[in-house]
């Protein structure tokens, strides 16, 4: 069997050669040739299969798929579809609504972190620490092997206070030009969608404090250049540092869209989430955490978490009315354990 890389290379070469031949033919063709209807069995149609190993079933299948794409008779319908993924909620989200134990390790560097006063400076000149807030959000990505496109999406941020009340997520991915080819379906079957639950620690600075800082006075006898320099210095002193944030990966999960491979067009999925040492050491940019750690599942390094992700997947026909998704109201579960002993 030829490798997928070799097959893809051959496919690109054939496509380029075909495009060049068609361009040359259009320039030389007479107007009368446009009225002539194509006949069956035109020489050259089978030339694209020449040069391929007759025993190379994979290469032959991909070549035949390209011909079907040109004829509009691709497998699974053959035309563009809308791939719609909607995340309804994250069960157990309130269990992640605790801030990090040590916020100082996330704090940006600056004079507000100084433990000893700066030599020659008054204690009041030390700026206050930035205001710290925490939120949660979910992001996901579909990576289609052998396809150029990568589809990613992200939910809105939920403050930790709202996460305790099970505020519902509103996250949806719409791929309007999705072509359900054999290769795309195989990729969804093998890789699917990976989801990350992320905590964002944000830092904002007190604008009123910086606006009230004393600045050097501009003497009247100063030159225009000196006055301009003093104004720029004053503006820089009264401009607070830019807001920043640090993201921490808390949970990972994945959903294999195998039912789409089998021809279904509507899915309701419950995605398990995972935690442990593997997640703690993973990078946010790694979108194969679950796939790469299949053998470590249900171990102390990669154990099942209390959260689960609920989502719906639709494959819509663009010639028909798009699916109207009706969200079902969920019962809010209060955390009664945390209220015990409080007056």
Q: Give the pLDDT of the chain (343 residues) as one tens digit per residue.
A: 344 445 456 666 766 777 777 777 676 665 555 555 555 544 554 555 555 555 554 555 556 555 544 544 334 445 677 888 888 888 888 888 888 888 878 888 877 877 655 554 554 567 888 999 999 999 998 876 555 567 888 888 999 988 888 777 778 888 887 776 777 767 777 778 899 999 999 999 988 888 888 888 888 787 888 888 888 888 888 888 889 999 999 999 998 887 776 667 788 888 999 999 999 999 999 988 998 898 999 999 999 999 899 888 888 876 664 555 555 454 444 544 444 444 4
Residue 36 lies in a domain: no
Kindly tell me the sign of the dihedral angle through the C-alpha atoms of 289, 291, 297, 299.
Answer: negative
Residue 290 lies in a domain: yes
Residue 87 lies in a domain: yes
- Given this model, what pLDDT does residue 76 score? 45
Residues 91 and 233 in one domain: no
Residues 271 and 160 in one domain: yes
- Given this model, what pLDDT does residue 280 score? 94
Residues 285 and 212 in one domain: no
Residue 117 lies in a domain: no
- For residue 141, give the H/E element and its range: strand 131-143
Residue 60 lies in a domain: no
- Given this model, what pLDDT does residue 4 score? 45
Residues 131 and 192 in one domain: yes
Closest CA to 102 of 75, 124, 132: 132
Residues 233 and 297 in one domain: no
Would you call 65 exposed, middle or buried from its count of C-beta atoms within 10 A (0-12, 13-18, 19+)? Answer: middle
Q: Are 139 and 146 in contact (CB under 8 A)?
A: no
Residues 228 and 103 in one domain: no
Kindly tell me the sign of the dihedral angle through the C-alpha atoms of 9, 11, 12, 16.
Answer: positive
Residue 277 lies in a domain: yes
Kindly report the backbone phi and psi dihedral angles of residue 289, in degrees, each rounded to the nearest multiple of 5, phi listed first: -65, -50
CA-CA distance, 294 to 285, in Å (whole number)?
19
Q: Are 93 and 166 in contact (CB under 8 A)?
A: yes
Alpha-helical runs (H) found in the chain = 4-28, 31-35, 57-71, 160-163, 182-190, 207-211, 224-237, 258-261, 277-281, 289-292
Residues 103 and 166 in one domain: yes
Residues 224 and 305 in one domain: no
Residue 216 lies in a domain: yes
- Given this model, what pLDDT does residue 333 score? 46
Quick count: other Cβ atoms within 10 Å of Cβ 135? Answer: 19
pTM for the model:
0.65
Residues 176 and 257 in one domain: yes
Distance linking the first and last C-alpha atoms of the chain? 72
Residue 27 lies in a domain: no
Q: Among the three residues 187, 220, 237, which one is the final residue of a domain in this structure? A: 237
Quick count: other Cβ atoms within 10 Å of Cβ 297? Answer: 15
Domain of residue 279: give its range.
81-107+127-204+244-319
Residues 219 and 153 in one domain: no
Q: Among the three residues 237, 258, 290, which one is the final residue of a domain in this structure? A: 237
Q: Among the three residues 237, 258, 287, which one is the final residue of a domain in this structure? A: 237
Residues 135 and 157 in one domain: yes
Residues 100 and 214 in one domain: no
CA-CA distance, 125 to 131, in Å (whole number)?
18
The count of domains in the chain is 2
Q: Are 90 and 155 in contact (CB under 8 A)?
A: no
């Amino acid at each position: 069997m030829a490798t997928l890389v070799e097959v893809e290379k051959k496919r690109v070469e054939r496509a380029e050669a075909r495009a060049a031949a068609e361009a040359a033919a259009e320039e030389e063709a007479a107007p009368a040739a446009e009225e002539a209807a194509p006949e069956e069995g035109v020489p050259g149609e089978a030339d694209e299969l020449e040069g391929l190993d007759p025993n190379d079933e994979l290469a032959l299948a991909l070549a035949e798929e390209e011909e079907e794409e040109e004829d509009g008779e691709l497998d699974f319908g053959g035309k563009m579809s809308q791939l719609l993924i909607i995340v309804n909620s994250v069960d157990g989200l309130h269990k992640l609504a605790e801030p990090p134990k040590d916020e100082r390790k996330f704090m940006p560097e600056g004079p507000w972190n100084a433990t000893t006063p700066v030599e020659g400076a008054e204690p009041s000149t030390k700026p206050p620490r930035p205001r710290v807030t925490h939120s949660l959000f979910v992001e996901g990505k579909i990576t289609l092997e052998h396809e150029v496109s990568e589809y990613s999406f992200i939910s809105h941020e939920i403050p930790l206070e709202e996460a305790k009340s099970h505020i519902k997520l509103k996250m949806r991915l719409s791929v309007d030009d999705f072509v359900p080819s054999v290769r795309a379906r195989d990729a969804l079957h093998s890789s699917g969608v990976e989801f990350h639950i992320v905590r964002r620690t944000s830092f904002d600075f007190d604008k009123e404090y910086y606006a009230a800082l004393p600045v050097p006075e501009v003497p009247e006898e100063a030159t225009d250049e000196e006055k301009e320099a003093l104004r720029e210095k004053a503006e820089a002193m009264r401009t607070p540092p830019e807001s920043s944030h640090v993201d921490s990966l808390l949970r990972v999960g994945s959903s294999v869209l195998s039912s789409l491979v089998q021809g279904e067009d509507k899915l309701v999925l419950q995605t398990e989430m995972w935690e442990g040492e593997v997640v703690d050491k993973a990078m946010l940019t790694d979108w194969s955490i679950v796939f790469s750690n299949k053998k470590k599942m249900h171990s102390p390094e990669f154990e099942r978490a209390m959260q689960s992700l609920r989502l719906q997947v639709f494959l819509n026909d663009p010639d028909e009315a798009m699916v109207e998704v009706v969200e079902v109201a969920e019962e809010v579960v209060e955390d009664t354990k945390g209220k015990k002993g409080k007056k």
